[in-house]
Each structure stands twice: as structure tokens, then as C-alpha cells.
Structure 1
Amino acid sequence: MLELDAWTGEILKAWKTSQQVSHMVVPTPDERKLYVANIGSGSVTVIDRSSDAVKTIPTGAGSEGIDVAPDGREIWVSNRAAHSLSIIDAATDRVRVTLESGGEMPIRIKFTPDGREVWVSNARSNTITVFDARTRQQLATIEVGAVPVGILMTPDGRRAFVANTNANQVTVIDVPGRNVLRTFATGTEPDGMAWAK
């Protein structure tokens, strides 16, 4: 894991995860800690940016999707080979609970901006499963396109965009109603998405 100067490209810090296929990374809201999902090791690496301490948390086979709650208290991880979700307590950096993902191959995970819901893309099921972040209950299943991967929320939390990698399209979903509004074509194999500023 590298920390770079955005202007010069200079490497400021480097941390070894000592895990296999380290992939997605998310910071806590205060940016003091980084959480890295390690697909090949079925784990999450925690990096303390102040002390440079590195810790490994076993999660589940194929840990890939990862997101931090807006309040910074929990980290949710999607384990694509185990078809499960691991919920990490940010205060202790331990897995608090493991849930069934509600679909096959959960590959990405995203909190709504208000932190009330967690959305999971299930690449093999071609679905999004929606969970209540507090009760952990599955609230809904939404059918989308072939091999949904990336999930992007609008800042107001009213719309979700899902990249359907094998369909070469993005599905737009009304978040409160949990219904598909429309689908539009993209380039080949869309995946990650971000807002331009």
C-alpha cells in the first residue's frame, strides 16, 4: 500500500500488507486508518497512518468489496467466494458478525450517504441486495444487468448507479423506492465509477 504526493507523484509512505491480492482500499472519515481488502487471503489489512502499525483481520474467502460507514464505526466487507458479508467494529478492528450476502459472488458494497442502508452487488446473481445497517436484515433484492460490480450513490442518496460489466451498461436505481429507473450503454466492461469535481 503506497501513499503518494498527488502533485509530484513522490512516494511518501509504503506499507506491506503481507497478504495475497490486496485490492480495494477505504479510509475512515478522519483518514487516520486505511482498510484494505485482500482477495487471495480472505482478509482485511488495517493500516494506522500515524503509527504505521499494520494488522490483519481474517474475514472470508475472496474478500473484495469494502466500505466504511459514514460515522466511521463499522466496515462492511463482501466475501465473493464465501457469499458472505463481514462486519468489522472499527473500535476493536475485529469482525463483529458475518451475514449471508443474499446473492452469489458479492463483489462490491456501498453504504447509502445517510448510513442507514448497505447495498451489495452480486456478480453471479445479477442482483443488488439491500441491507438495514442497524438491524442487519435484508430489505430487498433488485434485479440489474449482467455481472453488476461497481456501485455509486448520488451525494443526496436518492440515486444509485450500478456498473453491469458483462452487459456494457449502467443501471440507474431510485434508492428510496428501490426500483430501476433506466439503463444506459457504456464502453466495454464498466466497473468503477466516481464523481468529477
Structure 2
Amino acid sequence: MPAGFRCFLPGGVVLAFSLTAMQPAIAQTTPQQSLLVLSKHDHALSIVDPATLKVIAHAPVGQDPHEVIASSDGKTAYVSIYGGGAFHVLSVIDLVGQKALPDIDLGALNGPHGLTFVGGKLWFTAEGAKAIGSYDPASGKIDWIMGTGQNRTHMIYVTADQKQIYTTNVASATVSILEKTARPPMAPPPPPKMQHGPGAANGGPGGPGLGPGMNGPPQMDWTQTVIPVGKGDEGFDVSPDGRELWTADAQDGTISIVDIPGKKVVATLPAKVFGANRLKFTTDGKLALISSLRDADLVIYDTSSRKEVKRVKIGHGAAGILMQPDGARAFISCGPDNYVAVLDLKTLEVTGHIDAGGEPDGLAWAVQQ
């Protein structure tokens, strides 16, 4: 087959066409470890090879995608389709086949946003419903829902044992701590009046036997503690030792530090990060990185001294932050600049950029098992 052809127009004008340029790019296999980047503008998920920082595949997602998370086996990605609280679906991507799968319809659970994958289940916030829930991929069903009663329940963190859940509630300026606890046993009903007859002495008809279910396994329940923090709290993270929760307060420009065992704010740092969007700890917990939708700087705090270390120029505003699992690099979505900045966590300098589509936002790491 010829490499191209020419078309002769009146006046001697010649147009040349390349068949090679018209052919689709050769598909590349998804690497064992990959960086996932959402593009709000393109309504797409990009699969990036972290070794080369090159996009190897795109897959379509719904309108207004915000957050993405990978399953524990690294073969599936889930994307929250937010719509400011109006939409009610999660997009699903086959990372091996690099293609979209059928959406998950959340029904009345509008405004899905924050996502995490723990214990074989997908956990999500539903901002429009003031709730959180979990989806079981094995059964294909939502298997748990709990209301928070708070406004704009936005981001979510679930502990590895699935016994504690933390959320930020942006418009209520609160953090919710939800703890799974055993429900107190139900007291037996009062015994009926004693009657004469067979079985009255041993709990038979007319006896004081316990009602059904009284001697069964303990029932589990959830207890919520609501903690006031700074206004506009959105991005947050939990320290690697599980003892502190730091949240960035967009309206106040502060960082609220919550003592998790004590369930109270123990410090408020005047960080001056107005428009703060995300806060993430490095894998060793020594630093906290805070992005701002309004500012050109990525703000870096030392978690031990609780002092600012550095402000790094990364663009004209930023959103998602993701730490590479080995702690070497951080990736920051710079929406206004249409790139993901790559930060060396030893030098705290930007070492590269990733072109993964217009207005990048949510980031995730996928490891195929």
C-alpha cells in the first residue's frame, strides 16, 4: 500500500495526504503500575506510564468527572460523576482492556464525589443526599448507606479494618468521625402475668421466655461524632499513624488539626492557603502538601514542627494531589495550565509535566495484582 496520495486541484495546487497519519496509534499494554488522571474538559480517564510520564491510553467517562480510585487488584477504575450534586452515576473503566464498562447508577444518592477502595468495596460520598455508602463489586449492589446530616459531605477516608470513616462536610465546616460499634443488647420484654398451665415455669405458653433474636449475635451500629473545623474544609488526609487528621479550610485559609482518639481540634494553623482544595501527607508522614485553586503555589508543611517549609510555583491553580507509593514523587493536577506537575519529594522541585488532557483533576494509582 502506498504511504500516501496526492490530489491535484485547479491552478496546479497539490494536496498531499499521509495514510500513516490517518491510522490509529498502536495500543500499548497497561503497565503493572500506572498513574490515572481525570480530564474534566475531555471527559476522559488517561492511563499514564509513571516510568516515561507518557499517556498510553484514554477511556471515556461521564460529564464533570471529579475523583478516581482503582480497585485493589488494579484492574478496574471508578470515577465519580459529580455535577455539583446533580448527577448520580459512577463511571467504570476496565484498565486492562482500556475501555469503559457500564455505569453504576446510584439512584437517589446524588452528587457522588469522594472515593476510596477498602476491603474489596468501593466507598463513596453522596453530597446531594448528605450521605456516604459502599458498593460491592462482587454482588453489583450498594450494600450500605448512612446519612451524615451535614452539608456537602465531600471527601472520604476509610480505615483498613473498616471500623472508622472520616469525611469533610464543606458547607457545614465540620469533620465527621464515624465508628462501628456493637449495639447494646435489647432488654427482654417484661414478663407477662403468670398463668397456670403447662410450660409456665420453663418459658412455655404463659412463661417469661425471651423474645426472638434476644440471644443472637450482637448487632452492629455506627456512631457519628461531628467536629467543627474551619470554614470551607474540603481536602484532608490522615497521618500514617492514624492519630491526626489535617484538613485544609478554603475560606479561612487555615489548617485544622484533629486529634482522632480525642475527637477534637488541637491546633489551627494560619497557613494562608485560601481556596485550598487538597491536602495530602507524604508516605512517611513528615510533610503535608496543600494545593489551592486560586494560587500559583503548592504549600508544603513540616508535620512535626507544624511550620511552613516551602512554597513551590507549580502553575496558576491546582487541585488533585497524589503521592507515588515509594515516596519519591508527588503528582499535582494543575487545571488552568492543562498539565500534571511532577514534584521530586527530596528536592521539593518540579521536575516535569504530564499532558493528560484538558483541566486535569482527580488522580489515582493502580497496581495490577
TM-score when scaled to structure 2? 0.52
Quick check: 1:4–1:13 contact (8 Å CA) kept in 2?
yes
3-state SS of 2:298 partner: strand
3-state SS of 2:288 partner: strand
Runs of 4+ aligned residues of structure 1 deviating over 4 Å after TM superposition are none
Quick check: 1:121–1:127 contact (8 Å CA) kept in 2?
yes
Residue 130 (structure 1) aligns with: 300
Counterpart of 1:31 (choices 162, 170, 188) is 162
* 1:78-131 Cα shifts (integer Å, max 9, x gaps): 111111111110111111101122432111000000111111112211211111
Give distance in 2, aligned partners of 1:58 and 1:103: 19
Counterpart of 1:15 (choices 146, 150, 159) is 146
Give distance in 2, aligned partners of 1:158 and 1:102: 27
Counterpart of 1:57 (choices 211, 223, 227) is 227
Counterpart of 1:174 (choices 319, 327, 344) is 344
| Sequence identity percentage | 34
Q: Which consecutive unaligned segments of at least 5 residues does structure 1 have? A: none
Q: Confirm or deny that 1:153 pairs with 2:323.
A: yes
> Aligned in 2, Cα 1:70/1:29: closer, same or farther, shift over 3 Å?
farther
Give distance in 2, aligned partners of 1:5 and 1:186: 30
3-state SS of 1:61 partner: coil
Quick check: 1:29–1:71 contact (8 Å CA) kept in 2?
no
Residue 361 (structure 2) aligns with: 191
Give distance in 2, aligned partners of 1:101 and 1:12: 40
Q: Confirm or deny that 1:87 pairs with 2:257.
A: yes
3-state SS of 2:336 partner: helix
Give distance in 2, aligned partners of 1:74 and 1:64: 16
* 1:32-86 Cα shifts (integer Å, max 9, x gaps): 2111111111111111134411121111111100111111010110111111111
Which amino acid in 2 is paired with 1:17?
Answer: T
Give distance in 2, aligned partners of 1:74 and 1:176: 24
Q: Which consecutive unaligned segments of at least 5 residues does structure 2 have? A: 1-131, 182-220
Number of residues of Structure 1 aligned to a counterpart in Structure 2: 197
- The answer to which structure, 1 or 2, has the higher relative contact order (CA under 8 A, 6+ apart) is 2
Which amino acid in 1 is paired with 2:311?
Answer: T
Give distance in 2, aligned partners of 1:12 and 1:49: 15
Report the alpha carbon displacement of residue 144 of structure 1 after superposing the two structures with TM. 0.6
Larger mean CA deviation between 87-96 and 97-106 belongs to 97-106
> Aligned in 2, Cα 1:9/1:59: closer, same or farther, shift over 3 Å?
farther
3-state SS of 1:195 partner: strand
Which amino acid in 2 is paired with 1:108?
Answer: R
Give distance in 1, aligned partners of 2:160 and 2:310: 27
What's the C-alpha RMSD, in Å, of the aligned pairs?
A: 1.3
Give distance in 2, aligned partners of 1:99 and 1:52: 31
Bigger radius of gyration, 1 or 2?
2
Q: Confirm or deny that 1:74 pairs with 2:244.
A: yes
Quick check: 1:66–1:110 contact (8 Å CA) kept in 2?
yes
Residue 106 (structure 1) aligns with: 276
Report the alpha carbon displacement of residue 135 of structure 1 after superposing the two structures with TM. 1.1
Counterpart of 1:48 (choices 170, 179, 189) is 179
Give distance in 2, aligned partners of 1:81 and 1:153: 25
Report the alpha carbon displacement of residue 29 of structure 1 after superposing the two structures with TM. 4.6
> Aligned in 2, Cα 1:30/1:131: closer, same or farther, shift over 3 Å?
farther
3-state SS of 2:319 partner: strand
* 1:4-42 Cα shifts (integer Å, max 9, x gaps): 213223222211111111111112354321111111111
Give distance in 1, aligned partners of 2:317 and 2:245: 24
Quick check: 1:60–1:84 contact (8 Å CA) kept in 2?
yes
Give distance in 2, aligned partners of 1:76 and 1:29: 18
